[in-house]
Amino acid sequence: MGIALRTVATRHADPDVVPRAEMQQLLDEVYEQATPTVHKWFALLAAGRDKGWPGAGAGGPQPQPLRVTIAVAIREDEVLMVCRRDDDSSGITWQFPAGVIKPGVRSEKTTVRETLDEAGVHCAVRQSLGSRLHPTTGVQCGYFLCEYLAGEARNSDVVENVDVMWAPRNAVNRFIPTNKIFPPILAALEEPP
């Protein structure tokens, strides 16, 4: 239907979430303009059935859980951060570059691609910092420590982000509350450059 997965990820994680009025209006307009086939698929999905979807059933594609990769890109004593537009009342939030991992694509490849697509920065994955079920979104997240290679930090995704910057490694908690940061990230940021 042309709606980004990120737009509906919170709803997927918590069906009791009520979208803001303008978001619901946008979703309604897109649905109204959709073809009858899309309406049928949407109705089947909403009913919790996968019958009728092309390739569904035995031997066809199976549903994949939503997985996200998060890049902790380091440049000397700085870490790359993006300021996301947010759909809740807080407005905008700072976080590390992140992206949805498509089925069949390696997490590391998505990490590198999303960092470049969102922030204009080329990086290389140095090591995995682990994974967890995100305490706020309920999405499975994989965290990767990345090394800066090249590029100027810039907001390359103005639809999802408000700003991009290099923040001092020792000041990340000014942008993200310490209790919301995955502990292995904090440990990696405390290591000397």
Question: All domains of the chain, ordered by start, with CATH?
Answer: 1-63 (no CATH), 67-190 (3.90.79.10)
- Range scoring the smallest mean pLDDT among 43-47, 68-72, 80-84, 96-100: 43-47
| pLDDT interval class at 174 (50, 70, 90) | very high
Of 114, 117, 101, 118, nearest to 161 by C-alpha is 118
Beta-bridged to residue 82, according to DSSP, are: 95, 164
| pLDDT interval class at 70 (50, 70, 90) | very high
Contacts of residue 37, Cβ cutoff 8 Å, sequence gap at least 6: none
In this structure, are strands 78-85 and 161-168 parallel, antiparallel, or unpaired? antiparallel
Phi, psi of 79 (to 5 degrees): -130, 140
| Chain segment 100-153, per-residue pLDDT in tens | 999 889 999 999 999 999 999 999 999 999 999 888 788 899 999 999 999 999
| pLDDT interval class at 50 (50, 70, 90) | very low
- Statement: residue 192 has pLDDT above 70: yes
- Statement: residue 21 has pLDDT above 50: yes
| Chain segment 80-100, per-residue pLDDT in tens | 999 988 755 455 689 999 999
- Statement: residue 79 has pLDDT above 70: yes
| pLDDT interval class at 170 (50, 70, 90) | very high
